Amino acid sequence: MRIGINTFLFTSPFTNESTSLFKTFKKWGFDTVEIPVEDPSHIDPAHVKRELDRHGLVCGSICACMGPGRDLRGTPAAQKAGLQYMMKLIDQMVVLDCPSLIGPVYSEVGRADAVPAAEYKKQWATVVKHLKTLARHAEKKGRQVCLEPLNRFETDFINTCDQGLKMIKAVGSPALKLHLDTFHMNIEEKNQAAAIVKAGSKLAHFHACGSDRGTPGNDHIDWKPIVKALRQVNYKGDVVIESFTTDVKVIARAAAIWRRMEPTRDEIAVKGLQFLRKALR
């Protein structure tokens, strides 16, 4: 398993200039970089790829940033914008030699409100339709899309491993896989290890975050059974630290980070990496 770092810990938005972070990531010992591309115009993927190569790193994943106006169950305009945005990301992934588009690829983050069962069913069918289109594009380009369940405060649509697997089955594409995150699972799953085992071969991406979005290992999460479960399902994908701090204001607000979780964000990266190396050894 490769260990990666999500760049939201250090910057937003990620641009061509943000590639200056790669030297530090390599020095710390990370294998992969996860890049949230907030708008495809923010980067020249060929330039980013050259900088990754120069520092001996790879882009393991591109994170879909499903902000306002990008929503596969939203207005017709939001559905179109969300789908077109993710199709462009997949095209950029080819240039970056990046295998995985990850994140809440189904809806705008922060849209969380109870709806009648009939309306939820209608939304579900709409998302299935669009994800079939997205997955077909991913298949043609030799990429995969990894769908991430989020906690109840960030979405009312897909919160659990079970719901994610149900969506994957409904779409029926080998390019659509599951992405699990220890922070979200800490809120929504009865047992994180059991959820990983249930995901099985469908699990293609994994976020390792502290229970408070801080440093993995410096929290109350029981990591031993999580690691055991990852081994049990023969997980071969990336394990990525996706933690946030108050230093990146726009992300802090979006993720409701109102206080300093750790002394420094460098410490989250360095100590988190040390912990994961030891735990996954």
Residue 7 C-alpha from the chain's centroid: 11
Select which of 38, 108, 148, 189 is catalytic. 148
The count of C-alpha atoms lying within 13 angstroms of the C-alpha of 211, restricted to the half-sphere facing its C-beta, is 12
267 is catalytic: no
SS3 sequence, the chain?
CCEEEEHHHCCCCCCHHHHHHHHHHHHHCCCEEEEEECCHHHCCHHHHHHHHHHCCCEEEEEEECCCCCCCCCCCHHHHHHHHHHHHHHHHHHHHHCCCEEEECCCCCCCECCCCCHHHHHHHHHHHHHHHHHHHHHHHHHCCEEEECCCCCCCECCCCCHHHHHHHHHHHCCCCEEEEEEHHHHHHHCCCHHHHHHHHHHHEEEEECCCCCCCCCCCCCCCHHHHHHHHHHCCCCCCEEECCCCCCCHHHHHHCCCCCCCCCCHHHHHHHHHHHHHHHHC
User: What whole-number distance in Å separates Cα of residue 9 and Cα of residue 59?
Assistant: 16
Q: Is the distance from CB of 276 to CB of 208 less than 8 angstroms?
A: yes
Select which of 51, 188, 189, 242 is catalytic. 242
242 is catalytic: yes
What is the residue whose two structure tokens read 């047992």? 191
Active site residues per annotation: 148, 242
